[in-house]
Amino acid sequence: MKQFEVPAFYRSPIISKVKAKRKLEDPRKKDFSPSELTLGNITFIIARHFGFCYGVENAIEKSYKAIEENPTKRIFLLSQMIHNPAVNEDLVSHGLQFLQDTEGNQLIPFSDLSADDLVIIPAFGTTLEIEKQLNSIGVDIATYNTTCPFVEKVWNRSEKLGETDHTIVIHGKYNHEETRATFSHSSKNAPSIVLKDLQEAKELAAYILGERSEEEFMLYFSNKMSEGFNPVLHLKKIGVVNQTTMLATETQEIAQFLREVMIQKYGEDDVKSHIADTRDTLCYATNDNQTATLALMESTADLSIVVGGYNSSNTSHLVELLEQKFPCYFIKDAGEIQSQNAINSFDIHLKSIESHSNYLPQKEKVRIIVTSGASCPDALVDGVMMKLLSFYHSEQEIRTLLSQV
């Protein structure tokens, strides 16, 4: 695996040692059980796989190279590089500017750009329409394009599906940057439609099986399908691909459900003619993060803490899993831990930051699950662990404990 040149302050003295030890013990990552690190009164139960993935490290490396190699140029980020405020704030501190917000709303008009400027495409990729606009200005978008290769893999698979007359069913959040980009690319090659979850897959199935009218279908999926989409023609042969940050298990569930629908409609013998096997579009890093989180759920713990950006799709899915079993607190960094008795946590259902009291149990020994999303620097996880340790140990005691890691 390639080693990326990521700024040193993103690295961590605690987590890096834990990850290095596990990599040495299990280089092929066959064991997804968590690591346990006891530091005085706290045992941290640490996921086998979390934090920066290949695509994120690639994006960060290219962004800082752009800054270093172009000191006299204006450099713009099309939108948030990745969904982590600490990373984006640091890039902005180096003079980079955002052209759009995460919803695609314009912050700086493209008309303000010139051919002398640089625009960095984020890890999520972008739409063909935006690429065309920027190319027409003459802006360099190729040199520092940070589109994740696993996102591009989904685009390439969609193209192949289009060549065999499949309609592309995208499992994703319609307004997410990556889904907008994937939808744009897939729509070029084939009729395309976006499903957010299994419930929307069931709505799709209801039409395929004749339980919904064409009018009901068109109303329900309005603005979620490509121009000229015709359900009468375009739902006879499908392939399911995913937004790489969605739950891999949910993508597989949707694909399997739709396969059963096609068997019901056309019969077992002919099902391969109506739905493609697209398991190869799942992102390995997202899948590993989620598998490691499922392994965490086999642990005994008092609470769980997930660190990451609040608009990070892959991070929110880790919260969805852990909150099924443990009190789960979703925080962007150690600053959300107010005291030993108070913590601010993002509620993924209410979409708001909520205050919680007495989140740490009143006991001498505490077991805390810790993980983070694919866009979260390990250094932020270290900061969270250090903050929690400070409630139980003096600064000198913490230094002594860390020297033993």
Catalytically active residues are 178
Find all residues with CB under 8 Å of 11, minimum gap 6, and list them.
377, 378, 379
Residue with tokens 């003079």: 95
Distances (CA, A) of 266 to 207, 208, 262, 263, 292: 14, 11, 6, 5, 38
Per the CB < 8 A criterion, the answer to whether 333 and 343 are in contact is no
Find all residues with CB under 8 Å of 272, minimum gap 6, and list them.
none
Paired residues of 241 in beta bridges: 170
Find all residues with CB under 8 Å of 283, minimum gap 6, and list them.
53, 150, 242, 244, 245, 248
Which letter does DSSP use for residue 3 in this model? P
Distances (CA, A) of 202 to 56, 177, 197, 206, 235: 33, 25, 9, 6, 13
Please, what is the Cα angle at 45 between 40 and 49, to 5 degrees?
Answer: 135
Paired residues of 42 in beta bridges: 39, 366
